[in-house]
Structure 1
């Protein structure tokens, strides 16, 4: 819990500042913050508009810092659709992220710093279903609230080991993409109730995303999208430090390729020396090629989904990027990397690895030939389509419908459960 400075006697200026920071809310399915006024560096204990809030049966809880905000942002369009039927509020525990989100979405973004304030807020808005998009440790403070169903949805579908944490056992339901995710939980967790898993595909991928890049005549586009290095070695799937520069040099050597380099957002704030060095070298190489007239791109801050449409080949690591691409662009080849150079292990842990070519310690020396083969033809096209069904299983557009139906069911079941509890207590 954050340290709180002992309160001081408010001055006239303090009261004026608080008055200037009041926000007008309108009740209904959507509530928009109209006025924001805070002093730089000054963080309140909670949002000033918490008094008098209407009910919000659905809450998206996010307690992490702005550095992890991308995990929630990809869910915002989906939550905005849910809000058309069930009022939705976002609850945060970090003031800077609160301010950022209020510039991004019309959904109400409510901030509470302390655990006791969080409990009071949930009671006040009668939260019925609380949604969690990551595995942040502060999720467990939110789970203390007893009169709601708690649903983990995660922020992507991938074969990373972090996708099957024992933390899943704490939630009433865990939303997953398809059969591959069910098997992942069955393989990895002991004493886990598989009935907690709810298959909803990838609702975020049903939404239209504007293409970021225009095609370039005479060049095919290769998207290199490495992941970050994870919290520990077991969760480290990045190719940057081992193969990144070799992959980029091989692609820059081809006059018929436009390279697009888009690393995971957390690569931009990485501290591991080898990752920092490799990223800087790749940016230097691409920048130099651009200055020489080549149409390569460095959309470091772009939405990764907006880069998919123009790609003729994806080179990526074990992460959600490869599976999202498989879902959206099943006719386009993928090349995966394996930093552990363990073909049996990667195929066992990631079914997609069985239907793609892999850059690892054994093949990186001839990476140019490997990439050229996938640009010349699509050697795994039919097998890749079968694996796509294994991960997702239904057509684009159905995920959003299934997710909304599931949330609606959660809200209704919660009301019935609370009514039974109250009746038994009376």
Structure 2
């Protein structure tokens, strides 16, 4: 197999529950492909089949480590991009004749976003200054030259969504995360507050609920799965509720009047809208402190007053001024299309830089 005309590889290790990560980068990578040909390497066959159904960029399925080594050696790619933290990313990082750039699928204040794994990549692209500061705070051997701020290209491709509703109705988004693989990363509010929250929202006919859980919700914890199923049943039985699957989560923000989030990258992207929201606290984590200046915090002390808080925030938006400051810290200050332009130029810069180095080695 010869893919020598491809200079950019997107290496994806993840199961079908992680397919949303591919969807999230779809539009930026399609734009990048106009100037630098992009190839996806996928290591899961179910993901590969799904990709063929709804993606247009070139793709190859590689199952074994030995096939991956041979494929890289035969094609000499300039840049490899990574959109998650899979441990199997390190199978591709062994390739030493190209640059490895970590993008992730979104920034959050979860511990995975400040992992020492980042040191293995040649460069890590961050959204705003907070992305750089977060690594600086937690890494013992922080190298500022590895962390490059490019903004959030996804936000350049938001399209307006519509929903049938009366003028008096408000759209409320509940977008919880999953339970993760270990306790220190389990920020999901679903088993603790999810059912109670959705029930309270739907008691008022002025509210339209959009439920958008993480695609892996309930895959690790049985209690989480049970609660998610109960919420799904609640949504199905209500005329004022919707379940959101594969649609772009950033697009649904155009509908939303208020949102409830766990500690996720979705909450950070939502800063782009300048709309009020609430953060649901499950784990006490000081790293979230700066972000919570932008939103109300819901926890065990005030969950019983959640509707009163919702109504007050819809009317007064008490965090509005502080949120503007937090937004710039997390997302930067980019004009429409500027982030995508910076992203493309940085990739091109590293391709040229890499090719020059390879040329010097051959001489």
TM-score, with length taken from structure 2: 0.95
What does residue 46 of structure 1 align with?
none
Give the match's secondary structure for 2:242.
coil
d(CA) in 1 for partners of 2:27, 2:74: 25
Report deviation, 1:132.
0.5
Q: Is the contact between residue 129 and residue 149 of structure 1 (CA under 8 Å) also seen in structure 2?
A: yes
For residue 398 of structure 1, what is the aligned residue in structure 2? 338
| Separation (CA, whole Å) in 2 of partners of 1:296 and 1:63 | 34
> Which moves more between the two structures, 103-112 or 125-134?
103-112
- Taking only aligned residues, the RMSD between alpha carbons, in angstroms, comes to 1.6
Structure 2 equivalent of residue 319 of structure 1: 264
The 1:409–1:350 alpha-carbon spacing in structure 2 relative to 1, beyond 3 Å, is farther
* Alignment of structure 1 residues 17-416 onto 2, 5 Å: 50=1, 52-211=2-161, 213-267=163-217, 269-290=218-239, 295-327=240-272, 329-330=273-274, 332-340=275-283, 342=284, 345-346=285-286, 348-395=287-334, 396-416=336-356
List per-residue Cα deviations over 1:72-110 (Å, max 9, x = no partner).
221122111111111111111222222221222221101
Greater RCO (CA < 8 Å, at least 6 residues apart): 2
Partners of 1:114 and 1:287 in 2: how far apart? 42
Per-residue deviation, residues 231-273 of structure 1 (Å, max 9, x unmatched)? 1111111111111122112211223211111111111x52412
Give the Cα–Cα distance (whole angstroms) in 2 for the partners of residues 125 and 104 of structure 1. 26
- After superposition, what is the alpha-carbon deviation per residue over 1:181-240, rounded to whole angstroms, capped at 9, x for unaligned? 111111111112121001011112211335153443321111111111111111111111
Contact 1:102 1:108 in 2 (8 A): no
Gaps of 5+ in 1: 1-49
Residue 69 (structure 1) shift? 1.7
Counterparts of 1:316 and 1:136 in 2: how far apart (Å)? 24
Instruction: Note if contact 2:259-2:276 (Cα within 8 Å) is conserved in structure 1.
Output: yes
Q: Distance in 1 between matches of 2:116 and 2:204?
A: 45
- The SS at the match of 1:109 is strand
Which consecutive unaligned segments of at least 5 residues does structure 2 have? none
TM-score, normalization by structure 1:
0.81
User: Displaced runs of 4+ in structure 1, greater than 4 A?
Assistant: none
Larger-Rg structure: 1
Aligned length, in residue pairs: 362
Q: Determine if contact 1:143/1:150 at 8 Å carries over to the other structure.
A: yes
